[in-house]
Structure formats: C-alpha cells, structure tokens
C-alpha cells in the first residue's frame, strides 16, 4: 500500500520541475539583460570619451578609446584610414591640431548591440 504523502509529492515533482526551470530562465534573462545594459553603458562611455577627446584636442585621451592596432579602419569624407597609426598620424592628429574652441557632443544616443558589434 502506497502512502498518500509520498505519491502526492511524486505527482507534484513535474510541476515543481517546471517552476524551478522557469525561475532559472527568469534569473538567466535578468543576468543577460544586466550584461547587455553594462555593454550598452560601455559603448555610451566610449562614445562620450571620444567626443571629449575631440573637444579638448586630446590625442592621448583618444588613444584610450580607439583600437590602437591595424584592425582599425575609418572611412570619413570619402577617404579610408587603415590602422591606428595611419588614422592618428594622417587624419585625427592633424584635425585636432586645427581645432580651437570646438564643441563636440552626441545627443539622442541609441545603442543597438549585435554580438560584438554596437
């Protein structure tokens, strides 16, 4: 003869498993949303630091934000700069030396993340 207490618990196991799985997925979703929020904030911070570096004509600050190797490619005004050294020496540096009392800011920033791309 089976105990009603044991069979009731056994009958409830599938429902408990579904509840536990749902709670786990909810926690994972929350963690994923938090990670995405942190990534979006990192992108926003990089954009603002880049704007600040232009505004102050501060090449050292720009160096902290931009990729400093050959992976960087910048297309601007119908011309491409390949690699950090090319961009820094032939575009960014000369441009910054010509700027005075420049206001450079972003507004209405909307960040979209797709893998490692923003």
Residue at 113 is within a domain = no
Is position 55 within any domain? yes
The answer as to whether 109 is a domain residue is no
Q: What is the largest CA-CA distance in the chain?
A: 92
- List the end-to-end C-alpha distance of the chain, in Å, as a whole number: 64
In a domain, 110, yes or no: no
Q: According to DSSP H, which parts of 2-111 are helical?
A: 4-55, 59-65, 84-87, 93-98
Owning domain of residue 60: 4-98
Q: Is residue 114 part of a domain?
A: no
**Res 117: pLDDT:** 85
How many folded domains does the chain comprise?
A: 1
Q: What is the pLDDT of residue 30?
A: 52
Look up the pTM and report it: 0.64
The verdict on residue 63 lying in a domain is yes
Is the distance from CB of 35 to CB of 47 less than 8 angstroms? Answer: no
Q: Is residue 115 part of a domain?
A: no
Tens-digit pLDDT string for the chain (118 aa) = 454 555 554 554 454 444 555 454 454 445 466 667 889 999 999 999 999 998 999 999 999 999 999 999 999 888 899 999 999 999 999 998 988 888 888 888 899 888 888 8
Q: Is residue 60 part of a domain?
A: yes
pLDDT for 16 equals 46
Using the structure block, give the residue that is written with the tokens 């498993």: 17
The string of pLDDT tens digits covering residues 77-108 is 888 999 999 999 999 999 989 888 888 888 88
């Amino acid at each position: 003869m089976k105990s009603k207490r044991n069979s009731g618990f056994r009958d409830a196991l599938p429902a408990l498993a579904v509840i536990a799985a749902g709670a786990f997925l909810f926690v994972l979703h929350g963690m994923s949303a938090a990670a995405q929020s942190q990534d979006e904030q990192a992108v926003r911070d990089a954009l603002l630091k880049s704007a600040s570096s232009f505004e102050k004509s501060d090449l050292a600050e720009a160096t902290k934000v931009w990729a400093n190797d050959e992976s960087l490619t910048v297309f601007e005004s119908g011309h491409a700069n390949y690699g950090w050294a090319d961009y820094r020496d032939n575009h960014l540096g000369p441009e910054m030396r010509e700027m005075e009392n420049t206001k450079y800011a972003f507004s209405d920033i909307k960040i979209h993340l797709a893998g490692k791309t923003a």
